[in-house]
Amino acid sequence: QSALTQPASVSGSPGQSITISCTGTSSDVGGYNYVSWYQQHPGKAPKLMISDVSNRPSGVSNRFSGSKSGNTASLTISGLQAEDEADYFCTSFTSTNTLVFGGGTKVTVL
């Protein structure tokens, strides 16, 4: 199973909105609504930000939102803040009952 495709880096100024894409195939992203997004700060464990394409767990800021169209899922961060600077990974359940990760996107707040 090939990794999902994410941009290596995305940047934005405080207060702006940014969107991170996550492209897979009909065997993963496009075939299931089981896409999750994780935030990871350096030296820390990943933190769940979005599950099942667009569900935001309790405690996660409503500035984070998720969506999907075809084989591409997206994470949008609105009102960008300094604390949002981190790596972001998408994942999807697959048709072979496995989990596939994206390569990760480094978000920089300018």
Partner 1 sequence: QVQLVQSGPEVKKPGASVKVSCKASGYAFTNYGITWVRQAPGQGLEWMGWISADYGNTNYAQRVQDRITMTTEKSTSTAYMELRRLRSDDTAVYYCARGAWWDPRDYWGQGTLVTVSS
Which range in 12-20, 43-51, 61-69, 75-83 contacts partner 1 by CB under 8 A? Answer: 43-51
Tell me if residue 24 falls in helix, strand or coil: coil
**Residue written as tokens 């999807």?**
92
Supply 100's token pair.
Answer: 């596939």
Residues 6 or more apart whose CB falls under 8 angstroms from that of 96 comprise 1, 27
Size of the site for partner 1 (CB under 8 A): 24
Which range in 11-19, 44-52, 61-69, 71-79 contacts partner 1 by CB under 8 A? Answer: 44-52
Contacts with partner 1 by CB under 8 A lie at 3, 32, 34, 36, 38, 45-48, 51-52, 55, 57, 89, 91, 93, 97-104
